[in-house]
Amino acid sequence: MHNVDLLSGNILVTGSAGFIGAALSHRLLDSGCRVIGIDNMNDYYSVDLKTHRLRGLEARDNFTFIHGDISNAETVRGIFGKYNPSIVVNLAAQAGVRYSIVNPDAYIQSNIIGFYNILEACRHCGNLKHLVFASSSSVYGGSTKIPFSTEDKTDSPVSLYAATKKSNELLAHSYSHLYGIPATGLRFFTVYGPAGRPDMAYFKFADTLKAGGTIQVFNYGKCERDFTYIDDIVEGVFRVMQGAPEKFSVYNIGGGRPENLLEFIGVLQGELVRAGVLPGDYDFEGHRELVPMQPGDVPVTFADSSALERDFGFTPKIDIREGLRKFAEWYAVYYNSVI
C-alpha cells in the first residue's frame, strides 16, 4: 500500500450533489483539498434536495462544480484533460434496488457505461494516484453466511442494481491488472443520516408518517440491516483515499451491528416525536402495515469490516439512536424551511 497525499492535486468526486458525495466533499474541503465535483442532477429523487446540498458546497473555497453526466465520454475526457485529477472518487450511480426493476436503462447508462468512461479516463491520466469507487452490500445477494466478508463469493446478485455494482468491481479489477491503476472498491452498507436519500426506507417512513400515511414494513418486519451513519462512511472513505493498493482491493464499510427493522422504526418514531416532526400521541400502530418481501430485497445485511480496521485503523462508531436523532433534527429544520 502506498501513502497518498490528498493535498498533492485535484480530487474529482463524481455524484457530488448526492448524499455521500456532498458529505465527502465537505470533509475534503475541511482538510484543505481542492475538489472538482460533477453531478447530472437527475430527478430520481428531489432535485431541490440535491440543490440544497450543492448550495452548501458552492459557498466554499476550492470547490468547482460541473453539471454533467459521466455516461457522456466527451464530458469525462474534458474534465480529466482540464483538471488532471490525482485522486478520483466515483460515487455517481443510479441507486435503488426496486427502481432497477422498472427502469433498467438508467442503471446500464450510469453504473456501467458511466463507470467505464471513468476507467478509460483514469487509464489515460498520467497523474492518477488512486481510484476509489462505490460498490454496495447488495453484491452479496441472498447469502445466508453472516457477517458478509470480502472473502465471500459474490456471483449471485438478486437485482440489476447489485449486478451493476459487481460489474464495477470486475471492470476495476481488470483495468487495475492491465494498466496498473491503483483502485479500491468500497461496499457500503445501508447509509443513512441528515440530507440523505428520500428513497431510503428511514426517510420514506418519516415522509409517510408526517403526511399521516401508512408505512409498509417488508418481510413482515423480519429484516435486519447493517445501518451505517453518513459520518462513519465519509471517515472510512477519507482514510481509504490515503492508502492506495498496489493494484486492486475491496473493503466493506458497515456499522457491524445489524438492527431489526421493527426496532429501528421504533427508534425513528421516538426521535421524530422528540424533534417535533410528529405529535407525542401519534398512533404508530394505526399507521403501519406488515407486508411480504419485495423482489430484489434480502432479509439480512451484516458487514465484516475487520479488514478496514486492520488496514486503516477505523471502525464505524455512531449507533442508531444517535444517528436517527441527528436525522430527525435535520428533517425538522429542513422541511420547516422548504414548506
CB proximity list for 333: less than 8 A, separation 6 or greater = none
Give the separation between CA 176 and CA 178, rounded to whole angstroms.
6
Rounded distance, CA 129 to CA 9, Å? 10
CA distances from 150 to 20, 143, 188, 305, 329 (A): 22, 12, 12, 9, 35
DSSP element (H, E) containing 216: strand 215-217
Distances 237 to 53, 59, 186, 280 between C-alpha atoms, Å: 19, 23, 8, 38
Residues 6+ apart with CB under 8 A from 82: none
Q: Catalytic site residue 99?
A: no
Q: Which of 161, 192, 229, 251 is catalytic?
A: 161
Measuring CA to CA, which residue among 261, 250, 267 is closest to residue 300?
A: 261
- Cα distances (Å, whole numbers) of residue 83 to 242, 283, 328: 20, 54, 38
DSSP 15: T
d(CA 309, CA 298): 26
The DSSP line for 41-78 is: --SSS-HHHHHHHHHHHHTSTTEEEEE--TT-HHHHHH
Measured at the alpha carbon of residue 327, what is the angle toward residues 210 and 265, in degrees to the nearest 5? 60
Q: Which of 42, 50, 122, 30 is nearest to 85 (CA)?
A: 122
Hey, which residues are catalytic here?
161
